[in-house]
Amino acid sequence: MQPRAGERVVVAMSGGVDSSVAAALLVEAGFDVVGISMRLWGESSASGCCSLDDFLDARRVASQLRIPYYVMDFRDTFKRAVVDPFVEEYGIGRTPNPCVLCNQAVKFSSFWDRARELGAEWLATGHYARIVRDDATGSAQLWASRDASKDQSYFLFGVDRTVLERSLFPVGDLPKAVVREHAKRLGMAVADKPESQEICFAPKGDYASFVERHARRQAAAGVVVDREGKVLAQHDGVHRFTIGQRRGLGISASEPLYVTEIDAAAQRVRVGSRAEIVATGLVATRVNWLQPLLPSVGGSFQVKIRSRFAPVEVTLERATEQEFAALAPQGLAAVTPGQAAVLYDRERVVGGGWIERALH
């Protein structure tokens, strides 16, 4: 299915330059554009997600583009689907990825439902990713953006294929510098607005304090041990650690030490050398495949296990509807339960899942 001028597109407008330019490009292409900002988190009105300034910026852009603009409240859904799992995962020694959950459960689910109520045929965002459509069938594939340094396809693996069929990423073919040039050409006040690199509901990056404030029970103290079990330090809770972490361990040692294991039941964090955080592969569960058929076992793919990690060549060892296992001949550093493992066939996203365990 191909988008056509005149069809209604609802654009998720965050108040930043990317979504603002996405809306502008759609207006220029002749679509019937409606801008909507999502209120996701209500604890801060001055910074982070859903600040008043962001909503005002989005409203100014919408007014300049002469498109309707609304603010919709998704706080309950966001807390239930994103924030609560974030807190719970840290509490059991896993490292969550809230941006993937937000895309999966809010932006491309609940938000899309509301967009259709407004008569929208398409959903657009400012994500740096591409939808490549088959000329014959119109079926949609998720591809990485042209600007590899800004690519956000990793965060979109969990989106349902039927929603991707109706999704548009207008800035996905453009470098960030060109997006800012578009904004300047249009006289947008957000043209030079800085972008946030933090989790929206914890804008200062202090995830541990956030978890402590919102956890159902107080974090328990524990110990940091070496590979033989010798106690090296005390800690205030396993939520303060992630696999591969090097800094903030509270340990003075002759060699760099990294977190190799987190045992939440025993409140024990194990550390070791860098070689000990290199796995031979991984197992991922709760998989979302973005193609109609399962990928071929034994096939070669690339996997990303953090958004900023380089993709690593892997061989697919097992693939079912709900799980896959991949082997990495070159090794995978810091395989972290709770994080996303996304499979690529070069630029195309094959699918992804949530890391259950590392293989050694």
pLDDT tens sequence across 2-50: 889 999 999 999 999 999 999 999 999 999 999 999 999 875 544 455 6
Q: For residues 123 and 9, is the Cβ–Cβ distance under 8 A?
A: yes
pLDDT at position 191, please? 94
Among the residue ranges 103-112, 215-224, 331-340, the one predicted with the least confidence is: 215-224
pLDDT at position 137, please? 67
In the chain, where the domains are located: 8-185, 219-272, 277-359
Among the residue ranges 91-100, 195-204, 268-277, 291-300, the one predicted with the least confidence is: 195-204
pLDDT at position 138, please? 66
Q: For residues 70 and 13, is the Cβ–Cβ distance under 8 A?
A: no
Candidates 353, 337, 359, 269; CA nearest to 96 is 337
Q: SS3 of 223, please?
A: strand
Measured between alpha carbons, how far is 254 from 58 in angstroms, rounded to an integer? 52
Q: Sheet holding 231-235: strands in order across? A: 231-235, 222-225, 268-272, 258-263
* 8-185 homologous superfamily: HUPs (3.40.50.620)
Measured between alpha carbons, how far is 123 from 116 in angstroms, rounded to an integer? 9
Please name the residues in contact with 6: beta carbons below 8 A apart, sequence gap of 6 or more: 30, 31, 32
Residue for token pair 């609304």? 70
Residue for token pair 């459960």? 105
Average pLDDT over residues 50-61: 89
313 pLDDT tier (thresholds 50, 70, 90): very high
State what percent of residues in the chain have pLDDT above 70.
96
Measured between alpha carbons, how far is 357 from 360 in angstroms, rounded to an integer? 10
Average pLDDT over residues 115-131: 97
pLDDT at position 97, please? 95
pLDDT at position 48, please? 53
Has domain 277-359 been given CATH number 2.60.60.20?
A: no
Cβ-based neighbour number of residue 102 at 10 Å? 28
pLDDT at position 46, please? 44
Candidates 350, 335, 348, 287; CA nearest to 95 is 335
Measured between alpha carbons, how far is 248 from 241 in angstroms, rounded to an integer? 9
Distances (CA, A) of 36 to 55, 128, 244, 269: 10, 19, 39, 44
pLDDT digits (tens, 9 = 90+) for 165-188: 999 999 999 999 999 999 999 999
Question: Higher pLDDT residue, 79 or 42?
Answer: 79
Positions marked catalytic: 102, 200
Measured between alpha carbons, how far is 267 from 220 in angstroms, rounded to an integer? 7
pLDDT at position 314, please? 98
Task: Look at residue 78 and tell me whether its pLDDT is greater than 60.
Answer: yes
Measured between alpha carbons, how far is 290 from 271 in angstroms, rounded to an integer? 37
Strand partners, 234: 223
pLDDT at position 203, please? 67
Distances (CA, A) of 220 to 120, 144, 237: 48, 41, 5
Q: SS3 of 240, please?
A: helix
Distances (CA, A) of 249 to 33, 235, 274: 50, 8, 14
Measured between alpha carbons, how far is 282 from 340 in angstroms, rounded to an integer? 11
Q: 219-272 has which fold?
A: SH3 type barrels. (2.30.30)
Mean pLDDT of the chain: 93
Check residue 329 and report its DSSP letter.
E
Task: Look at residue 149 and tell me whether its pLDDT is greater than 70.
Answer: yes
Measured between alpha carbons, how far is 154 from 350 in angstroms, rounded to an integer? 11
Task: Look at residue 128 and tell me whether its pLDDT is greater than 90.
Answer: yes
pLDDT digits (tens, 9 = 90+) for 199-231: 888 867 788 889 999 988 888 999 999 999 999
pLDDT at position 218, please? 86
The whole-model pTM stands at 0.93
